[in-house]
């Protein structure tokens, strides 16, 4: 009985691509595998036909011989057409895993480039106002000496003898057959006998590139700026990775930031705190006037609306919180000391009125000891 045409068995045309051949075989194998059709003996023969057709048409040399001479051109290489279906169902899953994880089915694999991370320190002023900075990062680029092949000039990489140029080896794990990158060629399918002197056989060399990074207003420590495609270049035509610029805001001598609010300590003289009045305080956008009430105590807080940080996400601007620190006079002259002593005498008999906190504290201490 004459054998059926391999193209007819898989239901494809003679001009079918490698991907179309694989897809057709996978469909046939899943449909007719004996493990899935134990109650139908006829499916095993159909499965063997599909497997035999795939083994010939997926091999470029065998396919060329078959196209030219028909079955007679491949009978000897096939060993009389006695290929076993033992690889069977797990081989089908192996092909599915290849498609999921990016195996190319032979030849060099495609790998997306690695992501890079850059630590960027900013002053509080630049973080709040936004800025544009230049950064210099190390990257790997294709070696121009060997055009990325990794081989010395005048030589070429050779097919890996371990994986046969497929870039992957198959490991049997119980019911499944799982493919993984070849340990000898690293998944490239090629071996380099004479490495390039410039890149050492890697096919890439390290250089630096300068990038302009636009930092939006309001960023804070821990925020990340993503620069798409500015990471390591991919292999085998795959895309480049991304660059993540991580922000670290430096310590500021005057201001402390909490979310979108700023805070600062404002030293106030004893006289200004007692009599009240306007004092000058700093903000990130310049100086501002703050009205201190008569009898202000140390630790008291005053809020300047809209003088904080504009949120990079919501656009809402925070406040500036000024904490009053009353400064005790130092290095007084004799005359100044005498004036203070005279002033203190004027408070005698009415301290509870002028110093209510001190009076309540004294009363509390008395009750404690009593």
pLDDT digits 0-9 by tens, 85-119 = 334 444 444 444 444 344 444 444 566 888 899 99
For residues 186 and 124, which has the higher predicted lDDT (pLDDT)? 124
The CATH class given to the 6-86 domain equals mainly alpha
For residues 348 and 98, which has the higher predicted lDDT (pLDDT)? 348
What residues does 288 pair with on adjacent strands? 281
253 pLDDT above the threshold of 70: yes
pLDDT of residue 84: 38
pLDDT band with cut points at 50, 70 and 90 for residue 157 = confident
For residues 335 and 48, which has the higher predicted lDDT (pLDDT)? 335
Average pLDDT over residues 132-158: 85
Residues of the chain with CATH 1.10.287.110: 6-86
Residues of the chain with CATH 2.60.260.20: 116-167+180-249, 256-328
- Alpha-carbon dihedral angle through residues 54, 60, 63, 65, given to the nearest 10 degrees: -150
Residue 177, H or E segment: strand 176-181
368 pLDDT above the threshold of 60: yes
pLDDT of residue 32: 80
Per the CB < 8 A criterion, the answer to whether 232 and 240 are in contact is yes
Per the CB < 8 A criterion, the answer to whether 326 and 272 are in contact is no
Q: Say which CATH superfamily domain 256-328 falls into.
A: Urease metallochaperone UreE, N-terminal domain (2.60.260.20)
DSSP symbol at 299: T
Only one residue has tokens 């005048």, namely 154
Q: What token pair was written down for 280?
A: 């000058």
Listed range (167-171, 239-243, 336-340) with the worst mean pLDDT: 167-171
- The pTM of this model reads 0.56
pLDDT digits 0-9 by tens, 259-279 = 999 999 999 988 888 898 898
For residues 6 and 43, which has the higher predicted lDDT (pLDDT)? 6
pLDDT digits 0-9 by tens, 211-239 = 999 999 999 999 999 999 898 877 666 78
Sheet strand arrangement including 301-304: 256-258, 261-269, 320-327, 301-304
pLDDT of residue 218: 93
Say what percent of the chain tops pLDDT 70. Answer: 82
The Cα–Cα gap between 195 and 156 comes to 9
Q: Which fold has domain 116-167+180-249?
A: HSP40/DNAj peptide-binding domain (2.60.260)
pLDDT of residue 255: 94
For 322-348, the DSSP string reads EEEEEEPP-S--HHHHHHHHHHHHHTT
């Amino acid at each position: 009985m004459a054998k059926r045409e391999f193209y007819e068995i898989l239901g494809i045309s003679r001009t079918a691509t490698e991907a179309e051949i694989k897809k057709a075989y996978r469909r046939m194998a899943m449909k007719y595998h004996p493990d899935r059709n134990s109650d139908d003996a006829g499916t095993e023969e159909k499965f063997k036909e599909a497997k035999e057709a795939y083994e010939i048409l997926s091999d470029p040399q065998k396919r060329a011989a078959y196209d030219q001479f028909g079955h007679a051109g491949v009978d000897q290489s096939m060993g009389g057409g006695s290929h076993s279906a033992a690889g069977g169902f797990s081989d089908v899953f192996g092909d599915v895993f290849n498609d999921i994880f990016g195996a190319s089915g032979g030849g060099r694999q495609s790998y997306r480039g690695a992501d890079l991370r850059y630590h960027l320190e900013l002053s509080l002023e630049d973080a709040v106002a936004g800025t544009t900075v230049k950064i210099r990062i190390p990257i790997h680029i294709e070696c121009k000496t060997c055009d990325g092949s990794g081989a010395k000039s005048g030589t070429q990489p050779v097919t890996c003898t371990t994986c046969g140029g497929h870039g992957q080896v198959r490991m049997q794990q119980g019911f499944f057959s799982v493919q993984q990158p070849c340990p000898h060629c690293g998944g490239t399918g090629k071996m380099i006998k004479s490495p390039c002197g410039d890149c050492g056989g890697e096919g890439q060399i390290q250089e630096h590139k300068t990038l302009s990074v636009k930092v939006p207003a309001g960023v804070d420590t821990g925020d990340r700026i993503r620069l798409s495609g500015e990471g390591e270049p991919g292999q085998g035509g795959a895309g480049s990775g991304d660059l993540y610029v991580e922000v670290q805001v430096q310590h500021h001598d005057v201001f402390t930031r909490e979310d979108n609010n700023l805070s600062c300590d404002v030293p106030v003289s004893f006289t200004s705190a007692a009599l009240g009045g306007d004092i000058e305080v700093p903000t990130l956008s310049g100086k501002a006037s703050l009205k201190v009430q008569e009898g202000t105590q140390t630790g008291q807080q005053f809020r300047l609306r809209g003088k904080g940080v504009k949120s990079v996400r919501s656009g809402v601007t925070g406040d500036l919180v000024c904490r009053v620190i009353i400064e005790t006079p130092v290095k007084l002259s004799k005359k100044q000391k005498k004036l203070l002593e005279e002033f203190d005498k004027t408070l005698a008999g009415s301290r509870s009125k002028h110093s209510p906190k001190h009076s309540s504290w004294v009363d509390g201490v008395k009750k404690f000891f009593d």
